Structure 1
């Protein structure tokens, strides 16, 4: 593996080194516009563009007459070059590089907390189960006062400053906290360590033989975790499965192909193929070795289902193996590989396009980069997220899958069954309210946990909880103000934020399935297949 990494670096090193200073010159400030009367001859014939860049580096190295900040120019030049390729090729360095690698591996080195600055104090919003903070005994609601004798409380502390203190602290941490339970000041020792990021945050039997699995990303251990959950569900009588890849940003192509192999029982069935200008066509076919029998499938997608999640949905759709539910996916059909440039930097480079079994290429146009970046917002403005007849199909080329249905190129994955988004949660009103209500809900939980627990253990828990929180002063003011026509939705949103804090991310997903419109639609579809 190390040899392979080195060889990739050696291939790219001449090109990248040739651009280090050239890029810096292009984006630097031009001081003197006066041209010399006579240009010095270089003794070079007409050259290709890449050779010109190499020559520029040579001239600067041998002839430039002033000092040079090579490190900063290197980063600027590489970043400039790669940014001109496509929206999904980019340069990574420093913390961005390490965070990217850690998340692809399914873990990161840290403490394992989510926090917020509330009333000038760092409060622990969530403790990652089995992480360093959890093992040290930290609890939700604890207030952090000092980290290695540096204060993180008071009017001058911000979220960014607090983050820098966590990040820059040594591996061994000494923290002073005010406990949420006993309201006493105690000192804790924490050693930074691996924090697992669950790529499958929810898995549950819904009933009538229907199982549900949510995949939040495709990291290095997603296939293993997926199969563990499938085994548990199968032991509980699962014969139909809903796979939820909403808000899944993608990840490892290898992992999604392995999962597809467990969902397609035929042998040598084309699942996907990739091909690039400088890479050969690679076909990924099914092995026919399926470990668990799953009769029917539904996959839930939305506008934030990207890349590998689109491979999963699109391949199963083309093969007639699954019904796709939700809203049109993002539309990314490019494959990247990471090439290390140094121990702390790399480029994530597009090397190929991927094609679904029908030959469909789903990448939306990025000829206009600004338009590409705003495309999801444009769908919202056009009403596509809320009305099926508002989906705009601009690409007239289609491909027909094994199910006999022609589908357009370049448009992402269009669902077989459309389920509208709730427009309230896309409104400017909710965007303004969400963050303060998130904090209000957390503080309310900290003062009323026992009461909330009793409500949730009783009958008609959601209805009773809604009625209960409507008495809050902050909600009453909002409900009686300019937002009166959204009063019920504001209460609903607050309740969901409250339950997010109460249950934590993983349990929240499982508890709320009965209120999820896309899940309801998927269940109905699977029941109709009996």
Structure 2
């Protein structure tokens, strides 16, 4: 048994070349440790008091080993291959819903238009309780997702609870679902083209080219390119998108890895789509990887202005390597460097602190680089916007209201009491409607603890235990009473932000995510700033050092 395990584990090394073992101490250490691991596993399997699951045990050990490297180097077993392909291609066999577990209820959060789910009659707000005669109670999101996805053309029976009272069963036929790269595009203020890119799957560059062409045909003389919340995707798609706005032959990105095969330079292979149209790219802390290549290239070539908040800071490149039994390894092979020469990787995974956490690259080690027009930019911490727009934060009270699912449930309740609403840009709740919501919340069980309350409790305990600080008890109690007062009147104090989020959730029931995007454009501070910058020739040129 042990010899078989050793042989299986060593097969990849034999493929590399047995000569390496005699010439390289690293390969000897690798072989030695594989031998130790095989011996250990054999002993555990033979003598451990209870029966063990070899798949679970081995996967746990693989995951723990890879976790020591970085969060992007992962083992993909055969069961998870379809999810991995979905991320790369934007396609999967399914029914076209977005769902999530909220307070132990698996709820439909959104639908794709003309999807099998929509055609079968599934609605946003439905709670999925049964799939093919099997209760999903206690399952996590991944387990439910695997039951819903399947081969195109096959059917599944879904049972849902609607509006917390009606149980409905529906037969839904799966088909190939394509996740759209561009969530929304429109013309703002008559001549500003806007589009939001949410994915970098295989058709992303084609979709962007089509969007820009359509917007220009509709009268766009300026472009706003929204990359907020886009986690990245395929490197070649990011390169192709950059090529649309910089001259053919321009260096777009370089990858530098351990081997020559992983060290490459990517240049623009095609003539640019438009070298003149003013561009504003909007980013935030959720813009990562391919999003940072696009925004970084636009910044380094002074091709447009970057608006928003600092990006995530992922400057690592991964490739997939095939393993036995239809499994794969996604492994970090290189760092990428954008035209100015900087790498935007924010965390140093090689040098971790005592508790194993990767450390942020300190400012003292960050290096200055220069754009085409000699503007200073820095490495080691994501892409810094040229125009910073503070991130809008909501109160802890509102966050708890959202997490509780009460906003979601009330939006569903509203939907079933109103056949229709006005268009997304015009919809608003009346004062009476908001008061009805407020009264409804008061009748529900609402867990509303906050970090500040937890801190007050700790401070109170510490003050009681320490004579020196016991005199602060009265002040601590005063603060606690003020927090309680704010909580008791939370729906009044935070009315504006609660009301707006409830309105958007209601809009989603009638117009889906596209309606929500449409409703937020006019009040979006980042878009307002972008419009202001690109429509002012003087400010735009000044920011780009022209």
TM category, shorter: 0.7 to 0.9
Q: Look up the match of 2:375.
A: 405
1:274 pairs with 2:255: yes
Note closer, same or farther for the CA distance 1:164–1:341 as it changes in structure 2 (3 Å cut).
Answer: same
* 1:483-517, Cα deviation, whole Å (9 max, x unpaired): 24323222222222222333211232133211111
Matched position secondary structure for 2:81: helix
1:173 pairs with 2:142: no
Q: Does the 8 Å contact 2:124/2:509 carry over to 1?
A: no
- Aligned residue pairs, count: 470
* 1:246-290, Cα deviation, whole Å (9 max, x unpaired): 1111110100100111111x2322221111121354222224513
Q: Does the 8 Å contact 2:62/2:75 carry over to 1?
A: yes
Q: Does the 8 Å contact 1:277/1:352 carry over to 2?
A: yes
State the distance in 1 between where 2:392 and 2:367 align: 31
| Partner residue of 1:448 out of 402, 405, 417 | 417
State the distance in 2 between where 1:468 and 1:246 align: 32
Q: Look up the match of 2:399.
A: 431
Q: Look up the match of 1:235.
A: 217
* 1:40-74, Cα deviation, whole Å (9 max, x unpaired): xxxx9997243133134457769966756754454
Q: Which ranges in structure 2 are unaligned for 5 or more consecutive residues? A: 1-8, 47-52, 447-485, 539-546
State the distance in 2 between where 1:236 and 1:519 align: 19
State the distance in 2 between where 1:61 and 1:221 align: 44
- The offset of 1:520, in angstroms, is 0.7
Which stretch of the first structure deviates more once superposed, 141-150 or 198-207? 141-150
Q: Look up the match of 1:37.
A: none
Note closer, same or farther for the CA distance 1:17–1:136 as it changes in structure 2 (3 Å cut).
Answer: farther
Q: Look up the match of 1:220.
A: 202
Q: Look up the match of 1:305.
A: 287
State the distance in 2 between where 1:146 and 1:74 align: 32
Note closer, same or farther for the CA distance 1:232–1:336 as it changes in structure 2 (3 Å cut).
Answer: same
Q: Does the 8 Å contact 2:352/2:359 carry over to 1?
A: no
Note closer, same or farther for the CA distance 1:350–1:239 as it changes in structure 2 (3 Å cut).
Answer: same
Note closer, same or farther for the CA distance 1:291–1:365 as it changes in structure 2 (3 Å cut).
Answer: closer
Q: Look up the match of 1:517.
A: 525
Q: Which ranges in structure 1 are unaligned for 5 or more consecutive residues? A: 1-9, 19-43, 377-391
TM-score (normalised: structure 2)? 0.75
1:99 pairs with 2:83: yes
Q: Look up the match of 2:453.
A: none
State the distance in 1 between where 2:110 and 2:497 align: 25
TM-score (normalised: structure 1)? 0.77
Q: Does the 8 Å contact 1:279/1:351 carry over to 2?
A: no
State the distance in 1 between where 2:225 and 2:514 align: 15
Q: Look up the match of 2:299.
A: 317
Question: Cα RMSD over matched residues?
Answer: 3.9
Q: Does the 8 Å contact 1:216/1:248 carry over to 2?
A: yes
Q: Does the 8 Å contact 2:155/2:171 carry over to 1?
A: yes
Q: Does the 8 Å contact 1:260/1:271 carry over to 2?
A: yes
State the distance in 1 between where 2:429 and 2:43 align: 76
State the distance in 2 between where 1:161 and 1:217 align: 20
- The offset of 1:445, in angstroms, is 3.1
Q: Look up the match of 1:198.
A: 180
Q: Does the 8 Å contact 2:10/2:34 carry over to 1?
A: no
Query: For 1:76-155, what aligned pairs fall within 5 Å after superposition?
Result: 76-115=60-99, 124-140=108-124, 146-151=130-135
* 1:312-369, Cα deviation, whole Å (9 max, x unpaired): 0011101000100001111111111111213542221111111111101111132337
1:473 pairs with 2:441: no
Q: Does the 8 Å contact 1:211/1:238 carry over to 2?
A: yes
Q: Does the 8 Å contact 2:508/2:516 carry over to 1?
A: yes
Note closer, same or farther for the CA distance 1:48–1:361 as it changes in structure 2 (3 Å cut).
Answer: same
Q: Does the 8 Å contact 1:147/1:165 carry over to 2?
A: no
Note closer, same or farther for the CA distance 1:222–1:441 as it changes in structure 2 (3 Å cut).
Answer: farther
State the distance in 2 between where 1:119 and 1:525 align: 43
Q: Look up the match of 2:237.
A: 255
Q: Does the 8 Å contact 1:260/1:312 carry over to 2?
A: yes
Matched position secondary structure for 1:521: helix
- The offset of 1:107, in angstroms, is 1.5
Q: Look up the match of 1:417.
A: 387
State the distance in 2 between where 1:448 and 1:375 align: 51
Matched position secondary structure for 1:203: strand
- The offset of 1:187, in angstroms, is 5.0
State the distance in 2 between where 1:80 and 1:98 align: 23
Q: Look up the match of 1:365.
A: 347
